[in-house]
Chains A and B, each alone.
Chain A
Amino acid sequence: MEDKKGRQNGGVSRRDALRILGTGAAGAAMLGGGLGAQGLKSGKPFAKSVIQIWMWGGPTHLDTFDPKPDAGYDFCGPLKNPIPTNVDGIRLGEKLVRLAKNADKMAVIRSMTHGNNGHETASYLVQTGHAPGGALTYPCVGAVVALKKAYDVGYKGLVPPYIVLTRPQGRFDEAGFLGQKFKPFATGGNPADAVFAVEGVVSKDIPPERQESRKGLLSSMDTFGSAMGAHPEMGQLNASKSAAWDLILGSAGKVFDLTQEKPELRDRYGRNTFGQSCLAARRLVEIGVPYITINYPGWDTHKQHFQLMNTMLPQMDNGLATLLEDLKDRGLLDSTIVWWGGEFGRTPRVEWDPPWNGGRSHFGRCFSAVLAGGGFQGGQVIGESNKTGEEPKNRPVYPWDMLGTVYERLGIDPDGTIPGPQGSQLRLLPGAEEKLPSGGRLKELV
């Protein structure tokens, strides 16, 4: 049904492998990806970690970071009273009361664009910085960071360098051609439960004493494994087993024990899956995990949009605001990039008619994203959308522009290469020869 609607809206169907990249709308210059490498020399220390808050399904931009009170009821619905923030001139959606007190920490990008309205293809675009439909499946940012900030530099942590809280998206292969090793470790479980049962690491039912007994039983009973002796396949298997036991029985797994945190702080984050995921993400950053994605589901609000926003936005507001405050309090904000955003925004014009009855659909032509921390300059808005939030008005920001900026801040050369299939080296982001539209990297942020 979404597809049919999408077609009516202008011939862009939901799941077609689109290669429409929002050209024209913003009159973007064909700049290519090779510009703006200045960030590497900005003098600030590079960021160490990223917390990516993935607004799964595509969050509304009008009701969050790009309010349009003058556009009228057809666009705003009941959410028509944006609120001032602690930065003069920046207003946010009325439900973001705590984030409004943290606007100084955030750079709000209001002119994100790619023109793609399919979940899979847009997710791929936004998280890999490559146009879908090519012969190769590129890795997404998390996998690249795991490569460049962990495996390439001898990461020894027992906790995998790329963590997903709590469920993987399954929209595309996060690791792309980098392969299995670069897939995220998805925690499973629910951090808001009494015990955050991280799949494999924390068992609700098996106490450490029994784990130890089992470990002993397994090693004494592995008759065939012993017969295989020093076979190379056994080397890989045994190394995996011993790393697994270190995580289950050693101290490394304690990072997931949220009961070690003060109850008041846990309350501030919100006693819900998203809030506690933000807390877990902060703990992971503290032990040096370079990339954490919080997959935050529920934003694909075709129906009952405003009813849902009434409950979801305060939850998001509490979790994200507390995360920024907590990172700041612990001196971690400057070294941690917090990236908020989804695969696209949602149609600014509310779909009041049946069957939607007040919903918002997919909208890739113009949407918002937020970057905070990591040495980025907060307290600013980058780019503007037009009166209705349907087009970037100036300074379009394409996914590769934004990712290039994030890579630079992490000390990863966005014009460099990553290992491709069969020993090749491939560009991390599209080069000028792909002739993609670009607004250039976000110099304003650094």
Chain B
Amino acid sequence: MKSAEFSRHFSSGLKAIPLLFFFAVAQPAREPVLPFEKPGAVPKANKIDELVFSQLDALGIKPTYLCSDEVFIRRAYLDLTGTAPTAAQVRDYLAAPAANRRAQVVNRLLDSEAYIAYQALKWCDVLRVKSEFPVNLWPNAVQAYHRWVSTAIRSNQTYDQFARELLTASGVNFRDPPANFYRAVQKKEAFTLASTAALTFMGSRTSRWPKDRFEGLAGFFSKVAYKSTLEWKEEIVFFDPDKPAPKGANGLPIQAVFPDGKKPAIDPSVDPRLVFTDWLLAPDNPYFSRAGANRLWSWIMGRGIIHEPDDIRPDNPPSNPALMAYLETEFRALGYDMRKFYRLVCASSTYQLSSIPSDPALTNETHFSCYRMRRLEAEVLIDIINQFTGGIESYSSPIPEPFTYIPNGKPSVEIADGSISSAFLEMFGRPSRDSGMESERNNTPSAEQQIHLFNSSHIQDKISRSAGLRKILAQPNVKPERILEDLYLSILSRRPTDDEKTKVGAYFQERKEKNKQGEGLIDLSWALINSTEYIMKH
């Protein structure tokens, strides 16, 4: 790609949103599937729906039905907090007035502790928070950094402020945690720092950039210097005006040039990172907001409007340009408030669509005509299994000093350190946090994962000793009907269908005839935990 073409991409926003014609949303040709879908027309709840549905209409694609309330509550919990609702939470929700219960549950979740932990996990993936090779933050810094990220989310720090603190950070890494942004890299030199900044806050991979533009960006990071302290593994990140810049392709020291091709005049006493950050966060810079809005969208929709969300470049256009333009504008208009942004997306019918396509031929569709089914993240899957079964994971730090103590029963989502892992998390594609790329997380099902879920002692022991099941059975005078309902609500967040009740009855009868009736409920728990509905976000 030529530098000039590349620059245009950076300097101009997308075209204004075209005027929309309001079409009625066409209904799928098939009947709704119960209990997963909500019969009836899909309303246009907000601007997102107008933009998505008008594009679908132009493409001749019918959006699918809305998801049922049972599917919605489970989805909202998983997407916003990485947890599943309990049976009681589902019952309360289904008993609440239908009119605004979806919005209410979203509001409650956005205010929860679990939201903070889950968003911290997501951001720490992007920020490469791990102690060991190849990032080598070291445990103290990992804890400080993770706590800082969690605090930023708890206090609802705006996304632009979050970015500014990281991009301009200097200081002692244990006491000024954002300084770790410049340590959580594989090489502490200007080009790697530039790539990291571009990947994190421009959603762009410098490996795709014209050489001179990449050098120009690296120029802003050429004065970042490091020195160690007397404290073991403590490090100071600072602005060193005298640090010589590395040489570029032409053999001369690289100079700071904005990605749009403009050359700033930087006073030698000014940290060039401040100049870059001001450029990036300027209101007329479309890039920052686009990358942020697209990333947050991809986290709850399962796919970026620009896909992948960290591969934004001129020849990778958004699947719905008007929607992208609207969201990047709106994210800025919302003051870069991430909770407000999620609220906006979750309120749309687009988010609330069923994951069963309107037409079986549409399974690879990328224009958001249905919710994207995908496997639960490794940490979330083991956490919700433990949530029901009362099982615990035991994690310990591979680094003896300083030893990181992980209390038993701590949810896997809350583990700060990407170097602290387990065979389960590795098998289920937890990101190694080496590069900060979204694609590091691998949610593809595999045979190894299935045999683990079907038959490993790790999972079997949890299911057969399930605290959740014992609690259900310990209710006074509990009837079989109620046991079954509680089990379904606890595991799948819904009640069993009549067909399922019949099949369960037949299975229990079979086990009874073999004199193994004690196994019936364990086997049913096992089957529900191994069902598609359980291991997939839907």
Chain A residues within 8 Å of B, Cβ to Cβ: 1-3, 15, 17, 120-121, 124, 132-135, 137, 160, 167-168, 170-173, 179-181, 183, 185-186, 188-189, 197, 199-201, 203-206, 209-211, 213-214, 217-218, 220-225, 227-234, 236-237, 239-241, 243-245, 247-248, 422
Contacts and interface: CB of A to CB of B under 8 A. Distances in A.
A133 B448 contact: no
22 contacts: A133-B134, A170-B421, A171-B398, A186-B423, A199-B452, A199-B458, A200-B450, A200-B452, A200-B454, A204-B457, A205-B457, A205-B464, A217-B527, A223-B500, A224-B536, A227-B36, A228-B356, A229-B360, A230-B360, A233-B373, A241-B450, A422-B205
Contacts, number: 180
A73 B448 CA distance: 50
A237 B426 CA distance: 18
Given A186-B423, A211-B455, A422-B205, 4 more contacts: A120-B133, A200-B454, A200-B456, A204-B457
Given A228-B532, A232-B364, A201 B399 contact: no
B530 A218 contact: yes
A197 B132 CA distance: 31
Contacts of B503: 217, 220-221
A271 to B, nearest CB: 21
Contacts of A199: 423, 451-452, 456-458
B400 A173 contact: no
B373 A231 contact: yes
B460 A203 contact: yes
Contacts of A2: 400
Chain B: number of interface residues, binned into ranges: 35 or more
Contact of B134 (A137, A181, A220): A137
Given A231-B373, A232-B363, A422-B207, A224 B532 contact: yes
A428 B426 CA distance: 24
Contacts of A172: 133
A178 B251 CA distance: 35
A322 to B, nearest CB: 28
A203 B455 CA distance: 6
A118 to B, nearest CB: 8
A236 B133 contact: no
A244 B451 contact: yes
Interface stretch (B47-55, B163-171, B439-447): B439-447
B448 A185 contact: yes
B133 A248 contact: no
A203 B427 CA distance: 19
Interface string B410-452: 0000000000010100110100101000000010111111111
Contacts of B523: 210, 213-214, 217
A243 B398 CA distance: 33
B538 interface: yes
A217 B500 contact: no
Nearest to A220: B503
A240 B455 contact: no
A221 B500 contact: yes
A185 B448 CA distance: 7
Given A210-B519, A247-B451, A137 B434 contact: yes
A132 B134 CA distance: 7
B401 interface: yes
A135 B187 contact: yes
A199 B511 CA distance: 25
Instruction: Identify the 3 closest CB pairs spanning chains A and B, nearest first.
Output: A200-B451, A225-B532, A224-B533
Contacts of B527: 214, 217-218, 221
Interface string B500-538: 100110010011001010010001101110111100101
Contacts of A134: 134, 186
A439 to B, nearest CB: 26
Contacts of B504: 221
Given A183-B427, A241-B450, A244-B450, A170 B398 contact: yes
Contacts of B434: 137, 173
A209 B192 CA distance: 57
B33 interface: yes
A224 B532 CA distance: 6
Contacts of B9: none
Contacts of A240: 445-447, 449-450
B237 to A, nearest CB: 17
A168 B432 CA distance: 15
Interface string B193-218: 00000000000010100000000000
A201 B451 contact: yes
Contact of A200 (B444, B448, B532): B448
Interface of B: 33, 36, 132-134, 136, 186-187, 192, 205, 207, 232, 355-357, 360, 363-364, 373-375, 398-401, 421, 423, 426-427, 429, 432, 434, 442, 444-458, 460, 464, 497, 499-500, 503-504, 507, 510-511, 514, 516, 519, 523-524, 526-528, 530-533, 536, 538
A214 B530 CA distance: 10
A26 B453 CA distance: 51
A168 B448 CA distance: 14
Nearest to A179: B442
B398 A188 contact: no
B447 A244 contact: yes
A194 to B, nearest CB: 14
B376 to A, nearest CB: 12
Contacts of A186: 423
Highest count of chain A CB atoms <10 Å: which of B429, B453, B519, B527: B527
B198 to A, nearest CB: 14
Contacts of B524: 217, 221
A259 to B, nearest CB: 19
A217 B507 contact: yes
Contact of A224 (B36, B136, B186): B36
Contacts of A167: 423
A179 B427 CA distance: 11
A234 B444 contact: no
Contact of B133 (A17, A135, A179): A17
Contact of B533 (A180, A209, A223): A223
Q: Chain A CB within 10 Å — which of B205, B448, B510, B514 has the most?
A: B448
Given A17-B136, A228-B532, A240-B450, A168 B445 contact: no
Contacts of B364: 232
Contact of B454 (A1, A121, A220, A244): A244
Nearest to A205: B460
A242 to B, nearest CB: 9
A258 B498 CA distance: 46
Q: Which of A220, A230, A232 has the most CB of B within 10 A?
A: A220
A185 B132 CA distance: 23
B33 A227 contact: yes
Contacts of A15: 132, 136, 399
Contact of A248 (B36, B446, B454, B532): B454
Nearest to A119: B398
Nearest to A245: B454
Contacts of B454: 200, 214, 241, 244-245, 248
Contact of A180 (B136, B186, B401, B442): B442
B72 to A, nearest CB: 14
Contacts of B187: 133, 135
B505 to A, nearest CB: 12
Contacts of A223: 497, 499-500, 531, 533
Contacts of B447: 160, 239-240, 243-244, 247
Contacts of A241: 450, 454
B450 A243 contact: yes
A231 B457 contact: no
Contacts of B460: 203, 205-206
B533 A225 contact: yes
A3 to B, nearest CB: 7
Contacts of B456: 188, 199-200
Contacts of A244: 447, 450-451, 454-455
A223 B507 CA distance: 16
B231 to A, nearest CB: 14
